[in-house]
Amino acid sequence: MPRVKRGTKRRAARRKVLKQASGYFLTKGKLHRAAQEAVEKALRYAYVGRRRRKRDFRSLWIVRINAAAKKLGLSYSKFMNGLKLAGIELNRKVLAEMAYNDEPAFKALVEKAQAALAQKA
């Protein structure tokens, strides 16, 4: 079998990894083996983080909706149930934005939710 030296491809692969690891602490940004391990770990964390961010934002929105609804005398779960009964389909992102920036509109939603809950009972 012929001998293969892989010169330019190998150098390019190493250069790519070292470029991704630039700025890492001590040898992780300078030596190929350490840099490769650090980059692989960083990419794993990034992958997980992209999914984690969705959970974190949903949690933040729920906290904001709950705080605003409690201020108006309704718990989060009753508020969401009331909206469902009233046939109002707004996602949590929009509700949190309304609770944070547009209190009169959010108050109107709370009143509609309370009316729907009272009608059901």
Position 113 scores a pLDDT of: 96
Q: Which residues does 89 contact at the CB level (< 8 Å), separation at least 6?
A: 83
Q: Please list the pLDDT of the chain residue by residue as tens digits (121 residues).
A: 888 888 899 999 999 999 999 999 999 999 999 999 999 999 999 999 999 999 999 999 999 999 999 999 999 999 999 999 999 999 999 999 999 999 999 999 999 999 999 998 7
The CATH architecture to which 7-120 belongs is Orthogonal Bundle (1.10)
What's the burial of 69, exposed, middle or buried (CB within 10 Å: 0-12/13-18/19+)? buried
Using CA atoms, how far apart are residues 110 and 82, in angstroms rounded to an integer? 8
Position 3 scores a pLDDT of: 87
Q: 3-state DSSP call for residue 10?
A: helix
Angstrom CA distances, 68 to 5, 43, 101, 109, stand at 66, 38, 11, 11
User: So where are the chain's domains?
Assistant: 7-120
